[in-house]
Amino acid sequence: MKKISLLLLAFATQMVFAQANRFVYQVTMKIDSTDKATSKTEIANLDVSAGNSIFYGENRLKRDSIMSRMRQTGSFNFNRDQMQALRSNIDYTVSKDYKTGKKLYTSRIQRDQYAYEEDRPMDWKILPETAKIGEYKTQKAETNFAGRTWFAWFTTEIPIQDGPYKFSGLPGLIVKVEDDKGDYSFDLKESKKIDAIANMEQRGSVITVKRAAFEKQQEQFRKDPTAGLTSGGRGGMRIQMDPTQRKQMEDRQKEEMKKNNNPIELK
């Protein structure tokens, strides 16, 4: 009987992976720890194929599409209000390789694109509690990751051991995951077949570093958010700014970071 169940699971997995799938999540974030009454909501996609997946913000995909069209046409006239509306707190991608188990986190710091391989294990404790979420029967699980306690609800009805962001490793797709403080939550809203997973455009070369080096670079950016612009970064492009312009840009970016003080990873 056990062998039959395993064969059925393997068959179901093959059926799911017959073509690419897109799982659409609503992401709710309280990015300002001094204003917990206010939250931001965005849509993000988990695109899954037979051997890998990629998680990314929908606004990122829309911005890339606009920029790609402009480069193809040679016309760089764009609606600044439209581009501003597409700014995202999900300014990263997470790629997972199912065969190797590797998770690659990629994000831009100023003008440079960085990537690191996640080196922390995600150890889950499966709990007895079950719930019906949408059309799925789910079971609860718990893990401690990056300074937060997370609760996830997964369904074996979709035999994909994956989920939004860096979450994976449960015996089914994660339908919902949230931290115990209610600061971040990911809720599955839709699933659909797609021709192929998204190919996120990476402008310029990607600098691959260790996670500790990435976090150090992030901290340096927080201390001096205009340094990369005036020095040119590793890409070599430098913006000429007089002291007044530099001060205005620095103040604006520091004000943004001041309100963005509650990251998804606390340590």
Banded pLDDT at 259 (limits 50, 70, 90): confident
pLDDT in tens, 157-168: 999 999 999 999
Q: What is the DSSP string of the chain?
A: -HHHHHHHHHHHHHHHTTSEEEEEEEEEE---TT-TT--EEEEEEEEE-SSEEEEEEHHHHHHHHHHHHHHHHT-----HHHHHHT--S--EEEEEETTT--EEEEEEETTEEEEEE--S----EEEEEEEEETTEEEEEEEEEETTEEEEEEEETTS---B-STT-B-SSSEEEEEEETTSSEEEEEEEEEEESS-------S-EEE--HHHHHHHHHHHHH-TTHHHHH-TTTT------HHHHHHHHHHHHHHHHH----S---
Q: Is the pLDDT of residue 238 over 60?
A: no
pLDDT of 14 over the 50 cut: no
Q: What is the predicted pLDDT for the residue at 86?
A: 63
Each residue's pLDDT tens digit, 28-80: 999 999 999 999 999 999 999 999 999 999 988 777 666 666 666 666 666 66
* Cβ atoms within 10 Å, residue 180: 11
Lowest mean pLDDT among 113-117, 140-144, 202-206: 202-206
Position 104 confidence tier, pLDDT thresholds 50, 70, 90: very high
Highest mean pLDDT among 35-39, 135-139, 250-254, 256-260: 135-139
pLDDT at 61: 77
pLDDT band at 208 (very low <50, low <70, confident <90, very high): very high
